[in-house]
């Protein structure tokens, strides 16, 4: 019995030993087979057999070297701007717990009123563009170009360099129309200045590199291409013709540099179009640097930007207006109003003129012409090419300085009414038959001659100074030839017809 147990135990041990050996051999064979299959050849040999073509590798490395050089060249001249805006608000003058309990005790003024101070912080970018050496032992003053919306309402400003050093700064000048501003700071170190390029030479497809401080991440660099040039329709009141890029631009990039492959600044990153709550979707816009070059000197020398003034109100005509004035295929800007006594009036430009060129440079639209006129020097004689009654004319105008309150001088805006052709939709909405002729009043400017004589929106102008006007072309023709010192209108208003009083200049 004991012998049988011993034999049985021995057999069991041998069986397990054989089984373990078989399993080990099978595993070894499987691993050897797997490692030597064609798909695993690289693992078996320890290295990939795929070879990167040398010419492609060299091109990529050269491009990488260029981007590294751009980084080294531009980053030190792009700074972070930190701002604090302070707003004071009067709080209710009552005794008791509620206000003090939740917000703390407000400041008591001498007149008994109480105020609270609210501080909001902001971040943006800027470009070091100018250096003025200090006298004696005084440090140099550096000038930083940025956006108006970055520092325009700030009470406290500081500049942070890409090495982390931080300096207090002060506002030198600001301009809301171009969304430009300049701050200065003093530093004893020798800091590099940005190299300004030529934005007129920028073309669609060029490399575009944005450098700034998006969302507070200092000294960030992103890369893309120029998607378009001459874009308009930016933030309200901005007259720039923007460079569009798909380079990633986010909040905090404003005021930073858009540079070309040579590391030259070609634009100032300003705004983005986004459907994602403000995040980058590849629609970034930069102010062309040529729009800012003259502004740099004016900020430093005068603290503000001066503009040339023509004295007209412009519109980009829609399809109906283009057809009504027989301007199909033409590009330019339409003079809808004129300021009395302005350079335009003295030079001979009239409402209804379609400006196609300024000093032999093509005009693409209202914003571009506004910018072009603004860049002219006061006293300069400018040549305007216009189309009037289908005939091309050349008119020379002596430009003057634009005053800050010119937009408020509505009483001098002639005639002060925006008229629209009677389109089918307007006829339908007002229930006008096809025989009705005239112009629809789309807007009347407050305090203007049209407002003084009593014109109202939705009136139908049928005659000017007794001369019938059936379309836009005849309206402007009568305005030029019949409306001299006096002007009055025949209008349809609802079911009534009336004649306005005369306006005398």
Whether the Cβ atoms of residue 199 and residue 290 lie closer than 8 Å to each other:
yes
Q: Would you call 232 helix, strand, or coil by DSSP?
A: coil
Radius of gyration of the chain (CA): 36
Spatial separation of the C-alpha atoms in residues 141 and 136, rounded to whole Å: 13
Q: Is 360 a catalytic residue?
A: no
Catalytic-labelled residue, pool 184, 199, 254, 280: 254
Tokens in use for 142? 């550096």
Listed in sequence order, the residues at least 6 apart from 456 whose beta carbon sits closer than 8 Å to its beta carbon are: 441, 444, 493
Whether the Cβ atoms of residue 307 and residue 249 lie closer than 8 Å to each other:
no
Q: Would you call 293 helix, strand, or coil by DSSP?
A: helix
Spatial separation of the C-alpha atoms in residues 498 and 41, rounded to whole Å: 95
Look up residue 289 and give its DSSP letter.
T
Q: Is 34 a catalytic residue?
A: no
Listed in sequence order, the residues at least 6 apart from 281 whose beta carbon sits closer than 8 Å to its beta carbon are: 272, 273, 274, 275
Spatial separation of the C-alpha atoms in residues 387 and 394, rounded to whole Å: 9
Q: Is 254 a catalytic residue?
A: yes
Look up residue 278 and give its DSSP letter.
S
Whether the Cβ atoms of residue 168 and residue 222 lie closer than 8 Å to each other:
no
Tokens in use for 402? 């634009």
Rounded to 5 degrees, φ, ψ at 81 are -105, 125
Catalytic-labelled residue, pool 179, 353, 459, 490: 179
Spatial separation of the C-alpha atoms in residues 278 and 85, rounded to whole Å: 21
Nearest to 179 by CA among 127, 130, 240, 126: 240
Catalytic-labelled residue, pool 77, 125, 149, 280: 149
Whether the Cβ atoms of residue 272 and residue 248 lie closer than 8 Å to each other:
no
**Positions marked active-site:** 149, 179, 254
């Amino acid at each position: 019995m004991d012998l049988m147990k011993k034999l049985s135990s021995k057999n069991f041990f041998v069986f397990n030993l054989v089984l373990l050996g078989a399993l080990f051999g099978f595993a070894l064979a499987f691993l050897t087979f797997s490692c030597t299959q064609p798909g695993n050849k690289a693992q078996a040999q320890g290295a990939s057999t795929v070879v990167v073509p040398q010419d492609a590798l060299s091109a990529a490395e050269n491009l990488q070297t260029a981007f590294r050089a751009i980084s080294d060249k531009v980053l030190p001249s792009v700074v972070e701007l930190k701002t604090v805006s302070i707003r004071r608000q009067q709080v209710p003058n009552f005794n008791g717990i509620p206000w003090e309990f939740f917000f703390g005790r407000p400041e008591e003024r001498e007149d008994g009123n109480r105020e609270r101070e609210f501080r909001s912080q902001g971040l943006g970018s800027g470009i070091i563009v100018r250096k003025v050496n200090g006298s004696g032992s005084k440090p140099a003053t550096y000038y930083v170009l940025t956006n108006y919306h970055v520092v325009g309402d700030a009470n406290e400003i500081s500049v942070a360099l890409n090495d982390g050093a931080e300096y207090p700064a002060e506002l030198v000048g600001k301009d809301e129309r171009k969304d430009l501003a300049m701050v200065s700071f003093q530093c004893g170190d020798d800091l590099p200045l940005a190299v300004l390029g030529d934005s007129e030479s920028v073309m669609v497809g060029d490399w575009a590199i944005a450098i700034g401080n998006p969302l507070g991440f200092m000294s960030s660099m992103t890369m893309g291409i120029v998607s378009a040039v001459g874009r308009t329709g930016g933030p309200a009141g901005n007259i720039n013709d923007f460079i569009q890029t798909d380079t990633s631009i986010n909040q905090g990039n404003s005021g930073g540099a858009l540079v070309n492959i040579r590391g030259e600044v070609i634009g100032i990153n300003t705004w983005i179009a986004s459907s994602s709550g403000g995040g980058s979707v590849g629609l970034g816009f930069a102010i062309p640097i040529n729009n800012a070059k003259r502004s740099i000197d004016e900020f430093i020398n005068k603290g503000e930007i001066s503009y040339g003034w023509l004295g007209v109100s412009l519109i980009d005509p829609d399809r109906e207006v283009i057809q009504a004035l027989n301007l199909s295929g033409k590009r330019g800007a339409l003079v809808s109003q004129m300021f009395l006594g302005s350079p335009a009036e003295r030079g001979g430009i009239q409402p209804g003129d379609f400006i196609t060129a300024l000093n032999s440079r093509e005009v693409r639209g209202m914003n571009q012409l506004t910018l072009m006129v603004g860049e002219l020097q006061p006293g300069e004689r400018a040549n305007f090419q216009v189309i009037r009654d289908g005939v091309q004319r050349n008119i020379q105008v002596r430009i003057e300085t634009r005053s800050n309150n010119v937009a408020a001088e509505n009483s001098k805006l002639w005639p002060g009414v925006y008229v629209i052709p009677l389109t089918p939709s307007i006829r339908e909405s007002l229930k006008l038959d096809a025989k009705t002729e005239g112009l629809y009043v789309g807007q009347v400017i407050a305090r203007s001659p049209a407002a003084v004589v009593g014109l109202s929106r939705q009136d139908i102008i049928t005659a000017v100074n007794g001369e019938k006007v059936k379309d836009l072309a005849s309206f402007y023709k009568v305005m030029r030839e019949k409306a001299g010192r006096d002007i009055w209108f025949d209008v349809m208003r609802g079911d009534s017809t009336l004649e306005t009083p005369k306006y005398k200049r």
